[in-house]
Amino acid sequence: MNNPIYSELVNKFDVNLVIKELAPFGNGHINDTYLITTSPAEAPDYMLQRKNHKIFKDVPGMMKNIVITTGHIRNKLVAAGEKEVDRKVMTYIPAKDGQMFVNDDEGNFWTLFLFIADCKVVENIQKPGQAYRAAQAFGHFQQQLADLPGEELIETIPNFHNGISRLFDFQLSILKDAAGRVSDNQLLISKIIDRAVEMTSLQRWLDDKTLPLRITHNDTKINNILFDQDNNTLCVIDLDTVMPGSALYDFGDAIRTLGNKAPEDEPDLTKIEFNKEIYEAFAQGYLSEAKVFLTPTEIDNLAFSCRYMAWEQAMRFMTDYLNGDVYYKTDYQGHNLVRTMAQVRYLEVLEENREVMENIVKAG
């Protein structure tokens, strides 16, 4: 795929590169990503990404967040004498006009960043040691940003993990019933609504400052960490949603995928089981980095955050299903419903394991 349109786009960035090949990359639900292989072979490769501006309504603001946070991390790495800075933090390339993106004729926003070579993304962790290191990477990321004033960052997607506002959107989708899907799914809907009082407490604690607002990643799926070939972590990627949030979002969201033995869209609900070993390793790894800055209330609610994020995600998938599949990319008809059922089942599994999870945090 060596379309002239892509070369034209790439030429607008402030970098000299010769495109050898351009190919779709990865499996994100939101943006479109392409790997640009360059010539000569030893020259660095790049990633070209079309940001979904229907979802990210303020791409310039989002890119400003990314520049501020990656710059902050980069400065720390340099000060610490890190030799491979470009492998430990993402490097975005500015456009020739100084902006951090390029627009095409259709008003899309394109960004370019350095491809980190010799690395891998994992979709599923089975080894506790790897989960421990992944948790350290996310905890370290939060720690690196702990001294960055939150006011400098915008809310890329307002109310992104705000359970009260997500619940409102969900109820609206039920009332509108745009795709005529409510009546067939009453039981599933009630499983989400039944937990609303408990789950919205996280947002109430943020509102009344029982929980502190920090700078968080907000999309800590395991596939947002790069590992080297020896399974050491290199850096945290997919920084689109880095913004003020709760540390609990990041912990809970990571366990949403890592603590589940099955994928987030597993159709066979009997396969959805809690992975205690991985959870334990993750909790210990996270605490090894985050204990120094977390408050006791945050630590006390780490296990709860896992249930919260599963609930929120179930509600988001179901909202999208009821709205007629307008947000997430789907692979087949009913994909969002399957995702919702899997998330609700996972939530139930986490509820069954509540005590075990709380004890592991206490011991960590």
**Sequential DSSP letters for 125-143:** ---HHHHHHHHHHHHHHHH
Taking the least distance from each CB to Mg ion, the nearer of 22 and 237 is 237
- Which of ligand GN1, Mg ion, none does 313 bind, CB closer than 5 to 8 A by kind? ligand GN1
User: Does residue 154 interact with ligand GN1 by CB under 6 A?
Assistant: no
Binding marks (x or -) toward ligand GN1, 241..280, rule CB under 6 A? x----------------------x----------------
Nearer to ligand GN1, 246 or 313 (CB): 313
Instruction: Please pick, from the candidates 25, 28, 64, 261, the single residue that binds Mg ion as defined by CB under 5 A.
Output: 28
Number of residues that bind Mg ion (CB under 5 A): 3
Instruction: Verify binding: residue 55, ligand GN1, rule CB under 6 A.
Output: yes
Residue 55 contacts which entry, ligand GN1, Mg ion, none (Cβ below 5-8 A, type-dependent): ligand GN1
Q: Distance between CA 306 and CA 5 in Å, rounded? A: 43
Strands 214-216 and 243-245: antiparallel
> Of ligand GN1, Mg ion, none, which one does residue 264 interact with (CB within 5 to 8 Å by kind)?
ligand GN1
Least Cβ distance, residue 167 to Mg ion (angstroms): 24
Sign of CA dihedral 264, 268, 273, 275: negative
Structure tokens at 220: 């800590």
The answer to whether residue 250 forms part of the interface with Mg ion (CB under 5 A) is no
Compute the least distance from the CB of residue 53 to ligand GN1, in Å: 12
Burial 315-351 (b: 16+ CB within 10 A, else e): bbbbbbbbbebebbebeeeebbbbbbbbbbbbbebbe
Task: State the virtual CA torsion across 355, 357, 359, 362 in degrees, nearest 10.
Answer: -140
DSSP letter at 94 equals P
The interface region with ligand GN1, picked from 25-33, 112-120, 182-190, 300-308 by CB under 6 A, is 25-33
Q: Which residues pair with 225 in a beta bridge?
A: 236
Task: Mark residues 182-221: x for contact with ligand GN1 by CB under 6 A, - for none.
Answer: -------------------------------------x--
Please answer whether residues 291 and 140 qualify as being in contact, where contact means their C-beta atoms are separated by less than 8 angstroms: no
Closest CA to 128 of 248, 283, 252: 283
Q: In this chain, which stretch among 59-67, 95-103, 224-232, 248-256 interacts with Mg ion, using CB under 5 A?
A: 224-232
CA-to-CA distance for 46 and 305, rounded, in angstroms? 35
According to the binding rule CB under 5 A, does residue 238 interact with Mg ion?
Answer: yes
Give yes or no for residue 289 binding Mg ion (CB under 5 A): no
Residue 238 lies near ligand GN1 (rule: CB under 6 A): yes
CA distance 45 to 116: 8
Least separation in angstroms between CB 67 and Mg ion: 19
**Residue 121 contacts ligand GN1 per CB under 6 A:** no
């869209």: which residue's tokens? 265
What is the contact surface with ligand GN1 in residues (CB under 6 A)? 28-30, 55, 219, 238, 241, 264, 313
